Amino acid sequence: MNKSAGVLLGIVVAIGAISVGGAWFTGTRIEGVLNNSIADANKELQAAMVGSNGTASLELISLERHVFSSTAHYRLKGEGEMFGETPIELLFVDHIEHGPLPFSRLMSLKWLPVMATSHYELERTPLTEKWFAAAKDQSPLTGVVNIGYDNAVNGNVQLQPLEMALDEKSSMKFSGLSMDVSASAQAQKVKADGYMDSLKVTTVSEDQAPVQIELSGLTLASNLKKSTYGFYTGENVLELASGKSTFGVKQSVLDFKKFEMKNLTEEKGTSASGRADYKVAEVALNGKTVGSAALAMSVKNLDIPATLSLMQVYQTKLQPYERAAAEATAAGLPAPELKLTEAEEALLKSSLEKLLAGGPQVALENLSFNTTNGESRANLVLDLTKPQAIDLPTDQLVRQLIALLDFNLQVSKPMLVDVLTAQAQIDGQTDAKQIADQATATADMFSSMAVGSQLAKLDGNNVVTKLHYANNQVEFNGQKMTVEEFAGFVMSKFAGAGTVQ
């Protein structure tokens, strides 16, 4: 044996010895690691299910330990109204390769040591039998998770392609979805990226007309970190390349391209902010482009401790009360009385005052719809502040609560004509001249009523309304007035709305 071959053999023997010793060590630790992971998962499930009228939990049913591998079985259980009349149970089997060098990673040329590599999948039960059948007798949900010695994890989740009947009149064809996920220890930071090629659902409407919905090119991405207060901040993105809906007796086709949804939350000290953006690049009806749309909303300066306290009161008291009241109304019974303890009332008041002291802002930054011939848009900014007292009379309280209100609305008459034309086509009308005449007449009538009521002005082909309030002063469509004058003006217009010609 030459020197180089001897060195190579020594390295192989050393790696083998380390692997065996490491695998044995991992086997002794694996149960504790799994129990800790399940405990963390149950905390997140509990937090996610608050206020949903349901509970969900994960448990380790069994664990068989060996030197190089272990086999675990889990149960995921959901109970409560949101899951239906009977609890739902999903069973998973997990084949765990012990580190530091799991065989599957070696085969894929991944040499970085890990504590374990988990290969899990949904098990066949009477509940999941139809999913297995739809996935051609494969497990419809599988995944791989690598657990590092620092308790960080990374892996992949696969939803397998499915083709199945949902009921006697409905069916689904699903291309499958793949998602890569990584998380630091205790999931302080989480990243996820997923992709679905297509989803097609076919059913019938109430009038027995065929309905078909198709989605293509779904991309998901999340980059989150846990805040000081235990909730996640960061960005979530959802994008759809295209979608199509076929419906109605005449099988109209409504489709869109490039739908995008983004939401972002941030934490700075004890304050939180967030925004959500939605965009559709193109909406078309029966092959003809109708327009595009956008929506952007934001909140700023939310005092986090105060907001969490208010959410706790809402979830533990107000939300159950709302459900009980709705159930009583549906049964023809009087609504129950809402009861708060003195401590809960004090917490509610102090939290609300603290929230308002931070100067929160709620804004509809953009709501717009563009067509070939025009654009309509609206925006609203509302700044709140702490009043002298929460129990002031309503009119005084409202004045002191609102630090600033700014509202702008522009409705394009040509855009209205485009939208009304599309609606007429959906309704089955086919006479082009009649559709155009009706749409134009309706847009003109709307403009005349809005301008005639003095609630809007005409600016070219746009019907415009502007309202600004600050320091107890109102400016409405360029006219300054006191709050009392504005309230009287609006009431007079609505009271006389029926007489406007």
Residue range 410-442, pLDDT digits in tens: 999 999 998 888 888 777 777 788 888 888 898
pLDDT at 300: 96
For residue 234, give both structure tokens: 């960061």
Domain extents for the chain? 22-160, 162-268, 344-499
Q: Which residues partner with 190 through β-bridges? A: 183, 224
| Residue 97 CB-density burial (10 A; 0-12 exposed, 13-18 middle, 19+ buried) | buried
For residue 199, give both structure tokens: 């989803």
Cα–Cα distances in angstroms (integers) from residue 69 to residues 3, 22, 116, in the given order: 35, 12, 9
Residue type, 417: V
* Host H or E run for residue 434: helix 432-452
Q: What is the pTM of this model?
A: 0.84
| Residue 354 CB-density burial (10 A; 0-12 exposed, 13-18 middle, 19+ buried) | middle
CB 432 within 8 A of CB 440: no
The C-alpha atoms of residue 318 and residue 204 are separated, in whole angstroms, by 38
**CA-CA-CA-CA torsion sign (439, 443, 446, 448):** negative
Q: How far is the first Cα of the chain from the last one, in angstroms, to the nearest whole number?
A: 107
Locus of tokens 């078909």: 212
CB 68 within 8 A of CB 62: no
pLDDT at 235: 96
| Residues whose CB falls within 8 Å of the CB of residue 39, separated by 6 or more in sequence, listed in order | none
The C-alpha atoms of residue 100 and residue 86 are separated, in whole angstroms, by 43
Cβ neighbours of 373 (radius 10 Å): 14
pLDDT at 195: 96
The C-alpha atoms of residue 490 and residue 479 are separated, in whole angstroms, by 13
The C-alpha atoms of residue 157 and residue 419 are separated, in whole angstroms, by 42
| Residues whose CB falls within 8 Å of the CB of residue 131, separated by 6 or more in sequence, listed in order | 122, 140, 162, 164
The C-alpha atoms of residue 117 and residue 145 are separated, in whole angstroms, by 6
pLDDT at 3: 46
Question: Tens-of-pLDDT digits for all 501 residues of the chain?
Answer: 444 444 333 333 333 333 343 443 455 567 777 788 888 888 877 877 776 777 888 888 998 888 778 888 988 888 877 777 788 898 999 998 887 767 677 667 676 778 888 899 999 999 999 999 999 999 999 999 888 888 888 999 999 999 998 888 899 999 999 999 998 888 899 999 999 999 999 998 887 889 999 999 999 999 999 999 988 999 999 999 999 998 877 788 889 999 999 999 999 999 999 999 999 999 998 888 889 999 999 999 999 999 999 988 888 888 888 888 888 888 888 888 888 888 888 898 999 999 999 999 999 999 999 998 999 999 999 999 999 888 888 888 888 899 999 999 999 999 999 888 888 877 777 778 888 888 889 888 988 888 888 888 999 999 999 999 998 899 999 999 888 888 888 888 766 554 444
For residue 290, give both structure tokens: 């109708």
Cis status of the peptide bond prior to 100, with omega within 30 of 0:
yes
The C-alpha atoms of residue 96 and residue 76 are separated, in whole angstroms, by 18
Is beta strand 189-204 parallel, antiparallel or unpaired with respect to 177-183? antiparallel
Cβ neighbours of 10 (radius 10 Å): 10
Phi and psi at residue 354, in whole multiples of 5°?
-70, -40
Cis status of the peptide bond prior to 140, with omega within 30 of 0:
no
| Residues whose CB falls within 8 Å of the CB of residue 377, separated by 6 or more in sequence, listed in order | 366, 367, 368, 369, 408, 409, 410
Cβ neighbours of 86 (radius 10 Å): 8
For residue 246, give both structure tokens: 């076929």
Cβ neighbours of 2 (radius 10 Å): 7
